[in-house]
Amino acid sequence: MTIDKFDFDATLLTINFATRLLAMEVDPDILTDRVVETFCDLGNCQDATLMMYDEYRELKGVAASLKQRRVIINEHIPLNKAMLEAAQSLRPVVRPVCDDSIYPLPSECCETDKTCLCVPLVGSRDRVRGFVTLYRPKDQQWEVSELFQLSIVSTVAAISIENSRLFRQTIEDSLTGLYMRRYLFIRLREEVQRFKRRGGPLSAILIDVDNFKLVNDNYGHATGDVVLRAVGQIMYDCSRQGVDLPCRYGGEEFVILMPGSEKKEAEIVAERIRSACAVKEINTQEGAVNVTLSCGVASIEECEEPSAGELLKIADKRLYCAKESGRNRVVCQ
């Protein structure tokens, strides 16, 4: 089967659009979602699995699309013959679908009415970074133009993921895994400029760990680090992935920048974080540790002159009020 001139031109336009969509994104969470969405669109299917090798070269499931519903996953995926063949040939491999997994994965022996396409993600130096698997009915054959598109976009996706990981290392706090203060101000200035051009909500939450000095004094700095990581994880879990920016502001202070959120919505998130931390027993080598949080919430609409500094200044004043009025609370006025 060949690709005629009309199909080839249309294919190049599709690849160009997909390439720009992936190459311009550096946020790992957003990029993950775009990779899954792009492969589903190009493969004309609703189900896909994205798997990546971690730093230990173990294959982990990252995300999936199940009937167009996005699912974040984090589990080990056994490497099978189809994946090995795809990795060795650097080309997509078609196999039956494995019935033993809820995620689309290839099988060597299961005969079903669906086929699974295993696409290797070939990055720099022809190194396979992971796989994307797609499935659809057996009577819906994979066209040459589709395989051509998916092969090219798989390399773009792999290199985009590599770049996002490198970029993340420059903006990520090594202790908590949250964004660093430097990146917060970069994004905050961008969001303020966007607000000045188009309007729309923008809120921020400033968070401080109550009496954190006592944790370090009583248990040591190693335990303090465990506490900060636990607080960072709570913040991450309570934030909208790919939308909110949870950041370590410095020491035991944190900020969540919330584009597109009114102050009332930010208050709900802040209270969710505060209450989750209040009941959390943080396991350390010194035993279980409990800490509480104080939060100040502000909206860009409250600023007399919208700016990054003014937004954080209002949030900081409210954080101070939360501390002065007894700690372990959220202040929004």
Positions marked active-site: 252
Query: Cβ(134)–Cβ(119) under 8 Å?
Result: yes
Query: What is the DSSP annotation of 204-241?
Result: EEEEEETTHHHHHHHH-HHHHHHHHHHHHHHHHHHS-T
Any idea which residue has 């089967």 for tokens?
1
Query: Cβ(104)–Cβ(115) under 8 Å?
Result: no
Cα 97 to Cα 173: distance, rounded to the nearest angstrom: 40
Cα 117 to Cα 39: distance, rounded to the nearest angstrom: 11
Report the sign of the C-alpha dihedral through residues 310, 25, 12, 137, in that order.
negative
Count the Cβ atoms, other than its own, within 10 Å of residue 132. 29
The encoded tokens of residue 42 equal 């190009």
Cα 222 to Cα 289: distance, rounded to the nearest angstrom: 13
Query: Cβ(11)–Cβ(145) under 8 Å?
Result: yes
